[in-house]
Amino acid sequence: MTNNQSNKPSRNEIIAHRKRETQSWILSLPAMLWLTIFFLIPYLIILLYSFLQTNVYDIEPVFSLEAYTEIFSYKYIHPFWTSLKFAFYTTVLCLLLGYPASYFIARSSEKLRNIFLILVIIPFWTNFVIRIFSWRIFLAPHGALSNLLLYSGVIDTPLRLLRTDFAVLLVMVYVYLPYMILPLYSVIEKLDFSLLDAAMDLGAKPFKAFLKVTLPLTKQGILAGTMLVFIPALGTYIIPQLIGHKDSLFIGQVITYKVKNIPRNWPVASALSFVLMLIVCAILIVFYYINLQINRREKERSEGGEQRELNMFSTVPVTEHLLSKHERQRKIYQNESQKSDKG
C-alpha cells in the first residue's frame, strides 16, 4: 500500500504535466490551423468535386460516379504507369549517384566538406522553373551542348535530346539528387568509421565491409532519401511539360489539361488528384512499416547483444574466475614465503 502511494504522482506533478500539455497544444495550434485551412479543406473540396458532374466550362451539383469509372480506363492508367516508372528510375539513379557522393563528402576534411555541401545546396538558390528552362536551352537541337559537339567535330548533325524520355529522366535526376544526398550525408557523417577498420582487420575486404557494416548502418538515410525523391517525382509536372513529349504524359500533366483546356472536366481532374493522393499515402504507409521493421530488428539485435554480454559475464563465472585468481596468488605467495624461510 505504501509503495502504491509513493508511486502515485503528486498534485503538483499532475498540474505541471497538464500545463506542459496545454503549452504544447498552444504552440502547435498555428501549424494545425495552417494545415487544416490550406491542406485538409482543399482536399475535401477535391473529394467533393470528384463526385459531381461536368459541363463544358464548369461543374453541375449532381452526384455522379462517372469520374471514377472514367479514370480507370487505359488512357488514364498509362499516365499513372509513366509517372510511377519515371519516379522509380529517378529514385534508383539518385541513390546510385547520391550514395557515393554523400560518402565522399562525409569522409572529406571539414573545409572541403562545407564547400561540397554549399555546391549541393546552390541549385536551391535559383528558381525551379528557371533551372528547367536552362536545361531546355542546354539540350535544344541548337543549344549549348549540341553546338559544342558540332564545333568539336564529334557529331555532324544537331542532337535531338529535347522532348525525349532520356532528357526528362536526366533533368529529374538533376532536380531531385540533392534530396537524396543531404539525408544520406547526415547519416553517414555520424558513422564510426573505425568499425570499417575493425572489419578489415578481421579479414573482410573493403566491399564486404561496406555491405556488412556501412550499408546496414545507413538504412535510415536511404529510406529518408528514397521517400524525399520518389514522392515529389511521382507528381511532377513542370519537368515533363517543358522537357518531355506528348506521347509520354505524366499524371500531373493530365490533371492540368483537364482543368485548363476546354472542355474542362473538374470531376475527372479531382478524381485523378484524389487517387494520386491515395497512392502517395499508401507509399508513405509502406515506408513507415519498413522503418518500424528496421527499428524493431535493431532493437532486438541490441537487446540480444546485451543479453549475450550478460551471459558471458554472469556472476558465477566471474566469481569463480576471481576466486581461482586469488587462489593462485595465495599459492605463489606461500611458495615465495617458504623459499625465504628456507634461505
From the CB of residue 254, how many other CB atoms can be counted at a distance below 10 Å?
Answer: 21
- Total domains in the chain come to 1
| pLDDT score recorded for residue 44 | 93
Q: Are strands 59-63 and 52-54 parallel, antiparallel or unpaired?
A: antiparallel
| pLDDT score recorded for residue 88 | 96
Q: Is residue 8 part of a domain?
A: no
Q: Is residue 330 part of a domain?
A: no
CATH code, domain carrying 218: 1.10.3720.10
Strand partners, 52: 63
* Distance from C-alpha of 20 to C-alpha of 14, rounded to nearest angstrom: 10
| pLDDT score recorded for residue 323 | 42
Q: Is residue 114 part of a domain?
A: yes
Please identify every stretch of the chain with a pLDDT value under 50, giving residue numbers as ranges: 1, 309-310, 312-326, 333
Domain that holds residue 144: 62-305
Residue whose C-alpha cell is 566469481: 319
Residue 143, CA distances (Å) to 130, 159, 168, 245 in order: 16, 9, 16, 18
Tens-place pLDDT, residues 5-61: 556 777 787 888 788 888 888 888 999 999 999 989 999 999 999 999 888 777 888
Q: Is residue 41 part of a domain?
A: no
Q: Is residue 343 part of a domain?
A: no
Q: Is residue 266 part of a domain?
A: yes
* Distance from C-alpha of 83 to C-alpha of 331, rounded to nearest angstrom: 80
Q: Is residue 101 part of a domain?
A: yes
Strand partners, 53: 60
| pLDDT score recorded for residue 209 | 86
Q: Is residue 22 part of a domain?
A: no
| pLDDT score recorded for residue 330 | 54
Cα three-residue angle 108-185-170, rounded to 5 degrees: 105
Residue 116, CA distances (Å) to 78, 112, 126 in order: 40, 6, 18
- Whether this prediction's pTM lies above 0.85 is answered by no
Q: Report the SS3 class of residue 60.
A: strand
Tens-place pLDDT, residues 66-78: 899 888 877 888 9
